[in-house]
Amino acid sequence: MQAVFNHLKGDRIIWFIVILLSLFSVLGVYSATGTLAFRQMGGNTEYYLLKQLFITGFGLVLMYIAHRVNHLYYSRVAQVLLYVSVPLLAFTLLFGSDINEAKRWITLPVLNISFQTSDLAKLALIMYTSRMLSRKQHIIKDFDRSFLPIVLPMVVVCMLIVPANLSTAALLFTTCIILMFIGRVHMRHIALTLWFGLSVFALYVAAATFTGKGRVQTWKSRLESYVNKDAEEPYQVQQAKIAIANGGLLRLAPGKSMQRNFLPHPYSDFIYAILIEEYGLITGLIILVLYLILLYRCIRIFARGPDAFGALLAVGLGVVLVIQALMNMAVTVNLMPVTGLTLPLVSMGGTSVLFSSISIGIILSVSRHIEAISPQNHLAEP
């Protein structure tokens, strides 16, 4: 075990957080998929457990590989990934698999695996934005030579994601705005980005409403049910609250969730509620604290960053993961409208788990480089 631990470079606390979240993932998915297993797998409850163990294990392998690669390499591949992501997003929008009135997935030929292209685009855009911000620091206030090359890909990618996945587009747009602020982009330019992004989104909503196409009606109903406190709460929110109430303060009842039989997608969107139901509110608080510690460690890496690209990349990837986690938990306790975002590294999934693992691996790559050049300032220190 010590030999394995010695091969894990970078921030050891982040490694520890990942292992804990992976354990919660396996426990939660195994319990939450019980009903699904009986409905689709003839009662083979081990199927989804083994599948999640494989995906989690493969994700850890990808994380290890990513953390061994010099982080500067990701700057070189950022543009390539972005150029691949944009046509993939467009293809998904036009020809993707239609699930719940949203085209978010494409099926890879031969392998017959569903692939959510927005996961790749999210990683690619953060890498690209970090690259451009670091390379344009000497002219960061210049509108034509700095601002436009940074903001145009951001708007294009987010608008390609919006029709099928508004919450992911909003999450990615917000993260890029934060990166621009950290990267010393002129506040006037940031305000212009916000205005332009909201204007384009408003035009899309108007066009979709006029034509009767898209998911605008779904967004509207979710927002209205959240804002109007007199209206009946969405079914999934009601069931999530019941699950949390059943959990109490502290509980140890693995596999004894009742609400998994009523909650839509208890193994993905609402796995946080299932974990609280089976292990109590204290466990839910522990999971929340783990994500906040992850954010703190990423900010710490940013503060000690070996270069502008590495610092921006680490904090950008950390911010997008943690904000997504907070949004997922906020939906569970009805602090915001239903979004459909999963809990990173915990919810059952394929590409979401793998790309989250790669993101953590890249963060660890940056911290590994800091260790290499400053061994006396080891990142595992509190």
Chain segment 133-165, per-residue pLDDT in tens? 999 999 988 888 999 999 999 999 999 999 888
Question: Residue 177 and residue 129: Cα distance in Å, rounded?
Answer: 10
Give residue 151's identity as a one-letter amino acid code: V
Answer whether residue 278 shows pLDDT above 80: yes
Ranked by mean pLDDT, the top range of 2-6, 102-106, 219-223 is 219-223
Q: In 3D, which of 379, 361, 362 has the Cα closest to residue 370?
A: 379
What does 165-214 look like in DSSP terms, one character per residue?
Answer: -HHHHHHHHHHHHHHHHHTT--HHHHHHHHHHHHHHHHHHHHHHHHHT-S
pLDDT at 375: 54
Q: Tell me how crowded residue 180 is: count the other CB atoms within 10 A of its CB.
A: 24
Q: Full-prediction pTM beyond 0.85? A: yes
- For CA atoms 165, 167, 173, 179, the dihedral sign is negative
What average pLDDT score do residues 365-372 get? 88
Using CA atoms, how far apart are residues 217 and 44, in angstroms rounded to an integer?
38
Measured between alpha carbons, how far is 376 from 86 in angstroms, rounded to an integer? 42
pLDDT of residue 381: 40
Task: Report pLDDT digits (tens) over 190-225.
Answer: 999 999 999 999 998 888 888 877 788 878 888 877
Asked if residue 1 belongs to a domain, the reply is no
The span from the CA of 229 to the CA of 336, in Å, is: 12
Q: How far is CA 286 from CA 21, 27, 281, in A?
A: 10, 15, 9
Distance between CA atoms of residues 347 and 118, nearest Å: 17
What does the angle CA 117 – CA 123 – CA 127 come to, to the nearest 5 degrees?
140
In a domain, 133, yes or no: yes
pLDDT confidence band for 2 (50 / 70 / 90):
low
Judged against a pLDDT cut of 70, whether residue 97 lies above it is answered with yes
**Phi, psi for 36 (deg, rounded to 5):** -60, -40
* DSSP 8-state symbol, 112: T
Does residue 2 sit within a domain? no
Q: Where are the alpha helices (DSSP H) in 304-340?
A: 308-332
Tokens in use for 212? Answer: 């009767």
Whether 99 is in a domain gets the answer: yes
Structural domain includes residue 219: yes
User: Does some domain include residue 135?
Assistant: yes
Query: Tokens 């400053």 identify what position?
Result: 374
Q: What share of the chain is helix, strand, coil (3-state, %, to 5)?
A: 70, 5, 25
User: Which comes out higher in pLDDT, residue 96 or 30?
Assistant: 30
Q: How confident is the model at residue 378 (pLDDT cuts 50, 70, 90)?
A: very low
- Cα–Cα distance for residue pair 59/291, rounded to 1 Å: 18
CA separation for the pair 228, 140 (Å, rounded) = 43
For residue 310, being part of any structural domain is answered with yes
Task: Tell me whether residue 60 is in a domain.
Answer: yes
267/47 Cα distance (integer angstroms): 14
Q: Look at the chain and report how many structural domains it folds into.
A: 1
Q: Do 67 and 9 touch, CB atoms closer than 8 A?
A: yes
Q: Which residue type does 227 have? A: V
Write out the residue range of the structural domain in which residue 301 sits: 7-377
Confidence bin at 338 (pLDDT 50/70/90): confident
